[in-house]
Amino acid sequence: MSIRSTRSTVTFASPFRLKATGEILPPGSYEVETDEEAIEGNGHIVYRRVATLLYVPTASGTRVCTVDPAELAAAIAADAQRAPHPEAS
């Protein structure tokens, strides 16, 4: 079994909450790591997500929280809806 990991950064303009963190997190940029395992079959390789990790900065370093990817995507979408939109001229 092979695992691949990808990292990305998400930026929140407003405070947000995820169940896994147990708190309201401040606006800012957060690292996200997605781990996927390879599943081979019929000459094709597909990947299945096995973990989504959110790196939360703390006063003493960084805390890693395993989060629900659907909940994270919903929080990102909600934040985008709250972001101010430039007015048309």
Is there a domain that residue 76 lies in? Answer: yes
Query: Number of structural domains, the chain?
Result: 1
DSSP 8-class letter at 21:
T
pLDDT averaged over every residue in the chain: 90
Is there a domain that residue 61 lies in? Answer: yes
Pairing relationship of beta strands 44-58 and 28-41 according to DSSP bridges: antiparallel
Is there a domain that residue 77 lies in? Answer: yes
Tens of pLDDT, residues 20-61: 999 999 999 999 999 999 988 878 888 888 999 999 999 999
- Residue 88 has what pLDDT? 46
Range of the structural domain that residue 29 is part of: 3-82
pTM metric for this prediction:
0.81
Is there a domain that residue 87 lies in? Answer: no
Reported as a pLDDT band with limits 50, 70 and 90, residue 86 is: low
Phi, psi at 73, each rounded to 5°: -60, -40
CA distance 22 to 35: 22
